[in-house]
Structure 1
């Protein structure tokens, strides 16, 4: 999720910077100021292109490899799919425990019977 947020923020920051740079680059070239045009490209245009490229790769990596969501445990079943005793839960992770469990099947915490 962090990759997606950073990618969007980079894109929202890089796109206006690229537009600003292009406007100034074109304006400088129209006035025959090639040194100023190069300055605008290297100071604002090139970093804007890098930001947009980074944004593209971050968003693409998020969409290709979304975060793995844990399966919600079914009520009445422990992590190893054995029936749980009502009201008996792991003190560390909160998953349901079976009646004869000495250790939590989800996190390995030792539990007292």
Structure 2
């Protein structure tokens, strides 16, 4: 969640700085001041592009892998549930398993027959 908030804040700060930089760059070039135009690009335009790239990467990384709440811990001595007809239990977490499962639905452990 922190990545998302920081990404949004970077984007909200970087976009106006980029617009400001582009306006001053165009204004300086129209007044035939190439040195001033270069200064606006390197001092404000380039950092604004870096901020927008950072914002994009932070938001994308959050959307690909959002924080998920932890699963509640189940007792290793849990009784078989109504779906468990095989009498199998996961060797990693101890949850009762249905007869046709390949992976534990609780922890993801591969079930071997």
How far residue 69 of structure 1 moved from its aligned partner, in angstroms, is 1.3
- Residue 23 of structure 2 corresponds to 23
* Mapped partners of 2:69, 2:47: distance in 1: 35
Q: Distance in 2 between matches of 1:68 and 1:17?
A: 34
Partner residue of 2:10? 10
Partner residue, 2:91: none
- Could you say what secondary structure the match of 1:68 adopts? coil
Q: State the partner residue of 2:56.
A: 56
| Structure 1 residues 1-113: aligned runs within 5 Å | 1-71=1-71, 73=72, 79-80=74-75, 82=78
TM-score by length of 1: 0.65
CA RMSD of aligned residues (A): 1.5
Match of 1:100 in 2: none
Q: Structure 1: where are the runs of 5+ without partners?
A: 84-113
Report deviation, 1:5: 0.3
Output the TM-score relative to the length of structure 2. 0.65
Instruction: Name stretches of at least 5 consecutive residues in structure 2 with no aligned partner.
Output: 80-113
* C-alpha separation in 2, matches of 1:79 and 1:6: 35
Deviations 1:30-69 (A, max 9, x none): 0000000000000000000000000000000000001121
